[in-house]
């Protein structure tokens, strides 16, 4: 059963709205679907419980009085049923938003939380912008909560407690203001937060000059979720060492000012069945998979994803094992990301050059070892390349979870391939049947790649069967259920054995 019923209205707060807004030449607005797993899982629940979604519209010049358009009648995206009045766009002046998003979120928190402090820039004005924008999100959220409570009270549902669910590192201090106002005005709600990226160790966190504000911001929630237990433990450790909070590491509880905050590992999943369906129907996208075996990489172009190390690994494989020449290709799909940030531009140039060098070094008249797509392919094409690749190289240097590893195994509906996975991705601690490899150890990684290329079919089958089974069970719908159950807002299937 794939429906999730929630016992209270859900107010989701994320940096971006769950769809992209577009304006045509006439100035008319329309929605364009964004296809992430999170939106797929969460949007139907928000629709069903008549909840709300709060986020930035992606437009600086949107008049705050503008009505968010209804979905196009043709729109088949999971967000199509979200009515205009269920969507609240947050408005922030461009300069402030840039300082918050490009400056603090991407320039400081992203590298820091991925344990790459040398890349992090600490600037007071960017941090100030982060606080201002979080405050703005908090104000919109409180308004939305007041409206929700008025509606509930008018229906006599005075016992129903709305759930506010804040997402990710862009909004770590918003809950502070929300809690304050709720206490002042006696507004009832449950506050929850989920972090999609790693939570770093105390040693890294303490480098951030305003670490206490972040910890207090997260602790303003009643419930805090991370992908894996390591991140929970890091968070508890920071609360204890930085703020002197009492923590219970076994029960995953932390106390602040007489309140107890529940912390839990909730590993996100993917819409498994949707990927299987896509893989079953998607037309062939890589035409020559009979002649060459494809080693696949799919990532946003980001320094955390380990692209340079991955290309060097592939180069090392060709050096050590020339017998693979002309029999394999490495296909890397890199989705442009944060293209206005200097570091990302530099990384792109570095990758372009490296690929050029490796292709120049090993190419034959009718074969080049690396194929590189710098751009976004559609869902059908993505499912087709997942399905038809012999190996997926998922080797981030650090990653909260990594959905590509999960999507790859979901699409392995034919002769099974091999997943090579970094232990530094959240998924690395769970997908035990993958071949784990330290991406920094280029030589060893090349050996593992060679082993994967030579792995007998029966071993591939056993490993893939188990990998697929796990993802099928722990899919994104179950993640959603686990979250709602953890916060006491799951209306049905309370005794579902999959929900812990």
Q: Does 376 bind ligand GDG (CB under 6 A)?
A: yes
Q: Does 298 bind ligand GDG (CB under 6 A)?
A: yes
Three-class secondary structure of residue 493 per DSSP: coil
Task: Compare residues 148 and 422 and give the one whose CB is closer to ligand GDG.
Answer: 422
The residue within the footprint of ligand GDG, chosen from 379, 438, 447, 466 (CB under 6 A), is 379
CA neighbours closer than 13 Å in the CB half-sphere of residue 107: 19
Q: Does 421 bind ligand GDG (CB under 6 A)?
A: no
Given the residues 167, 196, 309, 324, select the one marked as catalytic. 196
When computed from its CA atoms, the radius of gyration of the chain, rounded to whole angstroms, is 23
Q: Is 196 a catalytic residue?
A: yes
The residue within the footprint of ligand GDG, chosen from 77, 333, 358, 397 (CB under 6 A), is 333
Q: Give the span between the Cα atoms of 208 and 112, in whole angstroms.
A: 8
Q: Does 197 bind ligand GDG (CB under 6 A)?
A: yes
Task: Compare residues 8 and 383 and give the one whose CB is closer to ligand GDG.
Answer: 383
Q: Give the span between the Cα atoms of 167 and 192, in whole angstroms.
A: 9
Q: Give the span between the Cα atoms of 441 and 443, in whole angstroms.
A: 6
Instruction: Mark the segment that binds ligand GDG (CB under 6 A) among 141-149, 378-386, 428-436, 457-465.
Output: 378-386
Instruction: Mark the segment that binds ligand GDG (CB under 6 A) among 60-68, 217-225, 241-249, 399-407.
Output: 399-407
Phi and psi at residue 164, to the nearest 5°: -105, 125
Binding mask 33-72 for ligand GDG (x = CB under 6 A): --xxx-----------------------------------
Given the residues 211, 222, 299, 399, select the one marked as catalytic. 399
Question: Is residue 209 within 8 Å of residue 412, measured between CB atoms?
Answer: no
Neighbours of 210 (CB within 10 A): 18
Task: Compare residues 126 and 406 and give the one whose CB is closer to ligand GDG.
Answer: 406
Q: Is 399 a catalytic residue?
A: yes
Closest separation in Å from C-beta 319 to ligand GDG = 29
Closest separation in Å from C-beta 307 to ligand GDG = 13
DSSP assignments along 194-234, one per residue: E-SSPPPPHHHHTTSTTHHHHHHHHHTSSEEEESSHHHHHH
Task: Compare residues 317 and 427 and give the one whose CB is closer to ligand GDG.
Answer: 427
Residue 419: in which H helix or E strand, if any? strand 418-421
- Chain residues that interact with ligand GDG, rule: CB under 6 A: 35-37, 196-197, 268, 298, 300, 333, 335, 376-379, 382, 399-404, 407
């Amino acid at each position: 059963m794939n429906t999730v019923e929630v016992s209270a209205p859900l107010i989701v707060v994320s940096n971006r709205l769950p769809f992209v807004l577009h304006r045509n030449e006439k100035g008319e607005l329309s929605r364009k679907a964004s296809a992430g797993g999170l939106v797929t899982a969460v949007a139907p629940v928000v629709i069903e419980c008549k909840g709300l979604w709060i986020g930035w519209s992606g437009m600086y010049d949107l008049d705050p009085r503008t009505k968010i358009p209804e979905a196009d009648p043709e729109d088949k995206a999971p967000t199509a049923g979200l009515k205009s009045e269920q969507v609240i766009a947050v408005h922030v002046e461009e300069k402030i938003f840039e300082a918050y998003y490009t400056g603090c979120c991407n320039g400081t928190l992203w590298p820091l939380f991925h344990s790459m402090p040398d890349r992090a820039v600490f600037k007071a004005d960017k941090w100030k912008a982060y606080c201002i924008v979080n405050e703005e999100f908090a104000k919109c959220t409180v308004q939305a909560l007041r409206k929700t409570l008025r509606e509930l009270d008018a229906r006599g549902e005075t016992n129903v407690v709305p759930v506010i669910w804040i997402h990710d590192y862009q909004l770590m201090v918003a809950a502070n203001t929300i809690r304050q106002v709720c206490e002042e005005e006696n507004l009832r709600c449950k506050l929850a937060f989920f972090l999609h990226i790693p939570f770093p160790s105390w040693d890294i966190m303490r480098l951030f000059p305003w670490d206490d504000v972040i910890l207090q911001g997260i602790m303003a929630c009643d419930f805090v979720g991370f992908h894996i237990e390591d991140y929970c433990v890091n968070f508890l450790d920071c609360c204890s060492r930085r703020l002197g909070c009492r923590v219970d590491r076994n029960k995953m509880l932390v106390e602040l000012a007489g309140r107890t905050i529940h912390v839990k590992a909730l590993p996100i999943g993917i819409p498994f069945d949707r990927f299987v369906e896509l893989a079953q129907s998607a037309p062939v996208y890589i035409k020559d998979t009979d002649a060459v075996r494809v080693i696949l990489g799919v990532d946003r172009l980001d320094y955390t994803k380990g692209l340079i190390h991955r290309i060097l690994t592939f180069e090392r494989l060709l050096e050590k094992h020339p017998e693979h020449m002309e029999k394999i290709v490495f296909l890397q799909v890199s989705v442009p990301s944060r293209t206005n940030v200097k570091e990302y531009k530099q990384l792109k140039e570095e990758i372009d050059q490296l690929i050029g060098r490796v292709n120049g070094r090993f190419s034959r008249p009718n074969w080049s070892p690396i194929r590189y797509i710098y751009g976004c392919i559609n869902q059908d094409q993505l499912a087709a390349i997942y399905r038809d690749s012999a190996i997926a190289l998922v080797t981030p240097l650090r990653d909260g979870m990594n959905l590509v590893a999960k999507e790859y195994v979901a699409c392995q509906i034919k002769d099974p391939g091999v997943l090579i996975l970094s232990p530094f991705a959240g998924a690395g601690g769970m997908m035990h049947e993958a071949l784990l490899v330290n991406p920094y150890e280029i030589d060893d990684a090349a050996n593992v790649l060679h082993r994967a290329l030579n792995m007998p079919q029966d071993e591939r089958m056993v490993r893939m069967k188990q990998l697929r089974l796990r993802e099928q069970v722990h899919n994104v719908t179950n993640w959603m259920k686990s979250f709602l159950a953890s916060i006491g807002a799951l209306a049905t299937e309370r005794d579902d054995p999959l929900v812990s």
